[in-house]
Amino acid sequence: MLSNISKNLRTCTGYLHKYCSTSVAAIENKSNAIEPRTLAFPPKYQDPRQIWLESLDTIDQRKLALLELHPAVFAASPRIDVIQQNVRWQQLYRYVSYAHTKNKFEVRGGGRKPWPQKGLGKARHGSIRSPLWRGGGVIHGPRSPTPHFYMLPFPKRLIGLTSMLSVKFAQDDLHIVDSLELPTDEPGYIEELVKSRLWGPSVLFINLEDIMPRNITVATEQVKHINLMPAYGLNVYSMLKHNTLVLTRAALDHIENKLLENLHMNDPKAVLAKFKVDQC
Amino acid sequence: MSLRCYFSQLLRSRLSAHSNTYKNSVRHATYKASPFAEDIEPTVKYEVSKNPEEWKYVERALPLTIVPQPIRKESYPSGWKPQTEDVKKLPYLVQRTKNHMIPVYLQISQRGVRRHTFVRKIQGDINLLEQELKEFLQKESFQPIRSQVNELTGIIRINGDHVNAIKYFLEKKNL
């Protein structure tokens, strides 16, 4: 196990000296207990990407180990067009337009013929609420409620997630931590940590389960730009909305395996079928 | 038994006394006429087993959720060939689809007039592959081969129907 890590470290020493203040030897001693990742569906052509495993124990960044990421998920081609489609879908599927206009029959009055059909030299009219009249009904106006619900095709949702994760990784906005345990429940601690590690104002923490550790829940409750989310809630819009994405290692394993399984799905008939409103 | 069920059974028995044709035609056409849902006890005798050896046979019968890896053989009856294992050294790779097929497709549009061949899932030096494909296809063509490279999506589009030629070219390279 250790030999595996040290082999990885030796290959990337060139990078390390550039970016990290901690010496490699110190990391090797510390990383005794940390297991390297084994990638499902091992990549054939692209090299696995590498990322530091960090901890939220201290305010200063402490590098615990070097982890490998699957290139199909974290080094996919950044399809910003598909990302845009995902964001549009997420905004629209829950949007209901309440704009409303009244048609000729709904506007009050107008039941009587205003003047006789013939003999006055005036234009013929049957109702004072006709759309030709001032104060009359509206033709083809917006009718409330108008749902804008639609489903984006499953492969596009999948490409959206892999593209967004790849973009976050490529822009150095993805961080992996061992757990979301904090030493204190003071909001100042997590804010100071985010500031000192240059994690950008807004941070999205992803945990595997939806029951989060107590300290981080209490600390971030009043801080509106630091948010917590379970792994099943991961979505393109939230990732794009936050500057930095922080995954726990368990969440990383879950998300990567889930995406890879879906990329190698045997019979996609069920997910490609037309969406029915009453489907569960 | 509820009152409703009792009445419906009474009615049914009366009707069956009149004629045998009503006997088998219970329609449950309305909600009120339909019987109450009851737990149906299985009539077949069974026993619960938690033996992992037996569970293997159940697993074998379950549908696969993930496309399996092909078993390596010398040759296959269908003529399909697997991709070579050592792809790391190649300057480019046309990655197989999840079903282990070569991703070369024909798109027919303009009511059958326009035929475009798409090579998808290209990784590495896409321009080199385009050059090699052009050289390969040019031998059989009178006109210059027109093509377009999309580096972001890893797709080469070539004018004309060259699907089988490109598949032959890639298979010869063990891709």
Domain coordinates of chain B in residue numbers?
A: 3-38, 92-172
Helix B126-138 to helix B163-172 angle, to the nearest 10 degrees? 110
pLDDT of residue B68: 93
Lowest model confidence (mean pLDDT) among A26-30, A79-83, B37-41, B112-116: A26-30
Q: Are the C-beta atoms of A196 and A59 separated by less than 8 Å?
A: yes
- Backbone phi and psi for residue A219, each to the nearest 5 degrees, phi listed first: -65, -35
Q: Assess whether pLDDT exceeds 60 at residue A5.
A: no
pLDDT of residue A222: 94
* Region(s) of chain A under CATH 3.40.1370.10: 37-82+150-265
Q: Which residues contact A36 (CB under 8 A, 6 or more apart)?
A: A1, A4, A5, A8, A65, A67, A68
Torsion sign, CA atoms B55, B57, B61, B66 = positive
Nearest to B96 by CA among A40, A162, A44, A259: A44
pLDDT of residue A14: 40
Q: Compare B33 and A162 and report the one with higher pLDDT.
A: A162
**With pLDDT > 70 as the criterion, what percentage of chain B qualifies?**
84
Query: Residue B73 and residue A244: Cα distance in Å, rounded?
Result: 47
Q: Compare A15 and A135 and report the one with higher pLDDT.
A: A135
Q: What is the mean pLDDT of residues A80-87?
A: 97
pLDDT of residue A1: 43
Q: What is the mean pLDDT of residues B119-128?
A: 96
Which residues from A are below 8 Å from B64, CB to CB? 266-267
Residue B171, both tokens? 């298979």
- CATH architecture assignment, domain B92-172: 2-Layer Sandwich (3.30)
Say if residue A264 is exposed, middle or buried (CB neighbours under 10 Å; 0-12, 13-18, 19+). middle
Interface touch B65/A266, C-beta < 8 Å: yes
What single-letter DSSP state applies at residue A207? E
Tell me the pLDDT of chain B averaged across its residues: 86
pLDDT digits (tens, 9 = 90+) for B77-86: 999 999 998 8
pLDDT of residue B97: 95
Residue B103, min C-alpha distance to chain A (Å): 15
Query: Residue A178 and residue A245: Cα distance in Å, rounded?
Result: 14
CATH superfamily of A37-82+150-265: Ribosomal protein L4/L1 (3.40.1370.10)
Q: Assess whether pLDDT exceeds 60 at residue A108.
A: yes
Q: What is the mean pLDDT of residues A25-52?
A: 80
Q: Compare B102 and A23 and report the one with higher pLDDT.
A: B102
Q: Compare A181 and A2 and report the one with higher pLDDT.
A: A181
pLDDT of residue B31: 79
Q: What is the mean pLDDT of residues A68-87?
A: 97
pLDDT of residue B174: 86
Which residues from B are below 8 Å from A48, CB to CB? none
Q: What is the mean pLDDT of residues A73-98?
A: 97
pLDDT of residue A155: 95
Q: What is the mean pLDDT of residues A11-20?
A: 43
Residue B12 binned pLDDT confidence (cut-offs 50, 70, 90): low
Tell me the pLDDT of chain A averaged across its residues: 89
ipTM > 0.85 (yes/no): no
pLDDT of residue A15: 44
Q: Are the C-beta atoms of A49 and A239 separated by less than 8 Å?
A: no
Q: Which of B62, B65, B66 to mutate to test the interface with A (most CBs of A within 10 A)?
A: B66
Which residues from B are below 8 Å from A45, CB to CB? 87-88, 90, 93, 95, 123-124
Say if residue B130 is exposed, middle or buried (CB neighbours under 10 Å; 0-12, 13-18, 19+). buried
Does a cis peptide bond (omega within 30 degrees of 0) precede residue A145? yes
Which residues from B are below 8 Å from A263, CB to CB? 98
pLDDT of residue A9: 44
Which residues from B are below 8 Å from A259, CB to CB? none
Partners of B116 in the β-ladder: B107, B159
Residue A266 has its nearest CB partner, among B67, B87, B124, at B67
Residue A266 has its nearest CB partner, among B64, B83, B124, at B64
Interface touch A265/B93, C-beta < 8 Å: no
B62 Cβ under 8 Å from any chain A Cβ: no
pLDDT digits (tens, 9 = 90+) for A217-276: 999 999 999 999 999 999 999 999 999 999 999 999 999 999 999 999 998 898 999 888
Q: Assess whether pLDDT exceeds 70 at residue B151.
A: yes
